[in-house]
A and B are shown apart, each in its own frame.
Chain A
Amino acid sequence: MTYLEKQSNPLDPVHFRGNLQADYLYTSGAAGDKFFKHIMENDSFLASECEECGTVFCPPRLYCEDCFVEIPDEKWKEVPAKGTVRLFTTAMLNTFGEPLEVPKIIGLIDIEGTDSSMLGILKTKDQKQDLTGITVEAVFRPTQEREGTLKDILYFNESG
């Protein structure tokens, strides 16, 4: 049997309003701690390299998920905050389905000198259909305004 009666007014049944309190203090982790402290004072990134397979992680990781070994301090290195766009999309609506005044371009950027990609907001010189393969460089907040979070990277700007 199909239930055909439609509940058109959600306030009709006896009800009360509630919410789930959810407030968090996330630690950025042993590896994240070093990474975010670094970008507070530098316009570059840190990366960590697995001693076994040579994979270079950026943002850096404490361990290699494949070889399952810890990455020692001496295998950390500084890399430029730039790279090449691998994937992208242009968002026209916000999370609530409302049109964005300025469409937002989001991409995955292969970070130079690493085997990793970072998610970032992209800014281009002109409107293009295909951003794949363009080179971009991170634009950071002014040093004194940085807080040690991913938002210290304002966006990745098309370079060259």
Chain B
Amino acid sequence: MRNVSVIGGGMSLFRRRLKETGKELSFLASKMAMEEAGVQRSDIDMVVMGSAPDAFDGIHMKGENLLDGAGGKDKPYVRVFNGGGTGVFAPIAGWWHVASGVADMVMVVCEEKMGSCNPHPQTAFRNIWDPILDRPLNPNLVWLFAMEMNRYMTRYDIKKEDIARVAVKNKRNAVGHPCAQLPDANITVEDVLNSEMMAWPVNRLDISPPSDGASALIYCSEEKAKEFTDDPINVAGVGWNIDSSMWTNRDLYFPDYVANAAKMAYKMAGINDPRKEIDFAEPYDPFTYKELHHLEGLLLCDKGEAPILTREGVTERDGDLPVCPSGGLLGVGNPIAATMGQKVCELYWQLAGKAGKRQIPGDPQVGVGQAWGDIMQMGTVLVMRRG
């Protein structure tokens, strides 16, 4: 396998409902990534599109609909998706295009236009359940994650205040992000705890918003990257893993599928001690507790330890292990697949010293991004490293 470098990234604004179509959002993000990389559409050999279920945008086969905005016309083009895991899985698919040698330069574009789904994308989420065994009871995702959050809190005797700190950290981090939908420089733990109770123990500010948005990333072989930079940023490892859809039979306190994906990625990256060798992390944070859950799944701390690290400030931007320096999904927004912008593009921007106001101090060498999806099943992990 060849080494694969990242040479550019781009993101559109993330908002609850944007005027632009999905194609137009894809174009804006793609154009930004191409400008950052200093390449033209003609330089790109292949395009990978990541976009979650068609039901969000309301266009069946939306990959085909989006392709001209993603620069895919007359090129080998494929759409990949695995629900919420897509934001990190699409760049994994882009990576294997270059690593395998079939392409020298690949653009990965991720798009989601959840604002089209009326009145709320929750109506699309209602249909991800088993139609015979789950759906007759009208379950929704907030119920499900409330149960998982409760299990996690009960297992380790975690206080809700410590979970609420994740929303405070990420919404404050997002203040430095030009695309952010819900940045808040002044939010407090009390604000989170006092926000509307949606399904105990989930308050409204524990949840990321639905969003419209797109993001893009450009890869090339490490050899080709030397034409663009003296300091290449490389994909060091990738991993993905999925657990059973029989979620009712699993103990939800720990995401084994994330740990499996992380181990696969770390092995490829030659990482033996992730806690020492990884400088910062972008775990998937659609809910506050998920960041903590995923930090543990990524083996960056012991089981049940993530809330303590958060309380002690270890995961702040200037802490020992900055977590979600982008502002995450809680602060920047959650256009499902397009969260590649926070989970993978952010790794590149941080490692390349291009993160502006969000730049973490020191000289980070290794970062890990992760996404999660389906019915608490899918873990997707990507490790990026300087040089």
List the interface of chain A (C-beta within 8 A of B): 16, 18, 20-33, 62-63, 65-70
Residues 12 to 40 of chain B near chain A (Cβ within 8 Å): 17-21, 23-24, 27, 30-31, 34, 40
Chain B residue nearest in CB terms to A16: B136
Chain B residue nearest in CB terms to A25: B118
> Which of A16, A23, A27 is close to B20, meaning CB atoms less than 8 Å apart?
A27
Main secondary structure on chain A at its contact with chain B?
loop
Query: Please, how many angstroms separate the alpha-carbon atoms of A22 and B27 in the complex?
Result: 26
Closest-CB distance, A64 to chain B (whole angstroms): 9
Q: A27-B116, A30-B19 are in contact. Are A65 and B68 (CB under 8 A)?
A: yes
Chain A residue nearest in CB terms to B20: A30
Q: List 9 A-B contacts (CB under 8 A).
A: A16-B136, A18-B135, A22-B58, A23-B123, A25-B118, A29-B20, A67-B41, A68-B27, A68-B40
Are A68 and B20 in contact, CB atoms less than 8 angstroms apart?
A: no
Chain A residue nearest in CB terms to B17: A27
The 6 closest A-B CB pairs, nearest first, are: A29-B21, A24-B58, A65-B68, A68-B41, A25-B118, A23-B118
Q: Is B303 in the interface zone, CB < 8 Å from A?
A: no
* Interface bracket on B: 20 to 34
Are A70 and B31 in contact, CB atoms less than 8 angstroms apart?
A: yes
Query: Please, how many angstroms separate the alpha-carbon atoms of A67 and B42 in the complex?
Result: 9
Query: Please, how many angstroms separate the alpha-carbon atoms of A66 and B17 in the complex?
Result: 28
Are A20 and B118 in contact, CB atoms less than 8 angstroms apart?
A: no
Query: Please, how many angstroms separate the alpha-carbon atoms of A30 and B19 in the complex?
Result: 6
Are A26 and B19 in contact, CB atoms less than 8 angstroms apart?
A: no
Closest-CB distance, A22 to chain B (whole angstroms): 7
Closest-CB distance, B106 to chain A (whole angstroms): 15
Q: Is B270 in the interface zone, CB < 8 Å from A?
A: no
Q: Which residues of B contact A28 (CB under 8 A)?
A: 21
Main secondary structure on chain B at its contact with chain A?
helix
Chain B residue nearest in CB terms to A28: B21
Chain A residue nearest in CB terms to B113: A27
Are A65 and B73 in contact, CB atoms less than 8 angstroms apart?
A: yes
Query: Please, how many angstroms separate the alpha-carbon atoms of A24 and B136 in the complex?
Result: 23
Query: Please, how many angstroms separate the alpha-carbon atoms of A30 and B25 in the complex?
Result: 10
Q: Is B55 in the interface zone, CB < 8 Å from A?
A: yes
Q: A21-B123, A68-B34, A68-B71 are in contact. Are A29 and B40 (CB under 8 A)?
A: no
Query: Please, how many angstroms separate the alpha-carbon atoms of A23 and B119 in the complex?
Result: 7
Q: Is B353 in the interface zone, CB < 8 Å from A?
A: no
Q: Is B386 in the interface zone, CB < 8 Å from A?
A: no
Closest-CB distance, B42 to chain A (whole angstroms): 9
Query: Please, how many angstroms separate the alpha-carbon atoms of A70 and B31 in the complex?
Result: 9
Q: Is B151 in the interface zone, CB < 8 Å from A?
A: no
Q: Which residues of B contact A70 (CB under 8 A)?
A: 27, 31
Query: Please, how many angstroms separate the alpha-carbon atoms of A10 and B131 in the complex?
Result: 17
Closest-CB distance, A76 to chain B (whole angstroms): 15
Query: Please, how many angstroms separate the alpha-carbon atoms of A16 and B34 in the complex?
Result: 51
Q: Which residues of B contact A30 (CB under 8 A)?
A: 19-21, 24
Chain A residue nearest in CB terms to B56: A24
- Which of A28, A31, A32, A62 has the most B CB atoms < 10 Å from its CB? A62
Closest-CB distance, B83 to chain A (whole angstroms): 16
Are A26 and B24 in contact, CB atoms less than 8 angstroms apart?
A: no
Q: Which residues of A contact B21 (CB under 8 A)?
A: 27-30, 32
Q: Which residues of B contact A26 (CB under 8 A)?
A: 58, 116
Query: Please, how many angstroms separate the alpha-carbon atoms of A69 and B40 in the complex?
Result: 10
Further contacts, 13 of them, CB under 8 A, given A24-B58, A26-B58, A67-B41: A21-B126, A23-B118, A23-B119, A23-B123, A27-B21, A27-B115, A29-B20, A29-B21, A63-B24, A65-B68, A65-B69, A66-B41, A69-B31
Closest-CB distance, B46 to chain A (whole angstroms): 15
Closest-CB distance, B115 to chain A (whole angstroms): 7
Query: Please, how many angstroms separate the alpha-carbon atoms of A25 and B31 in the complex?
Result: 26
Q: Which residues of B contact A16 (CB under 8 A)?
A: 132, 136
Q: Which residues of B contact A24 (CB under 8 A)?
A: 58, 116-118
Closest-CB distance, B353 to chain A (whole angstroms): 27
Closest-CB distance, B247 to chain A (whole angstroms): 20
> Which of B17, B27, B40, B118 is close to A63, meaning CB atoms less than 8 Å apart?
B27
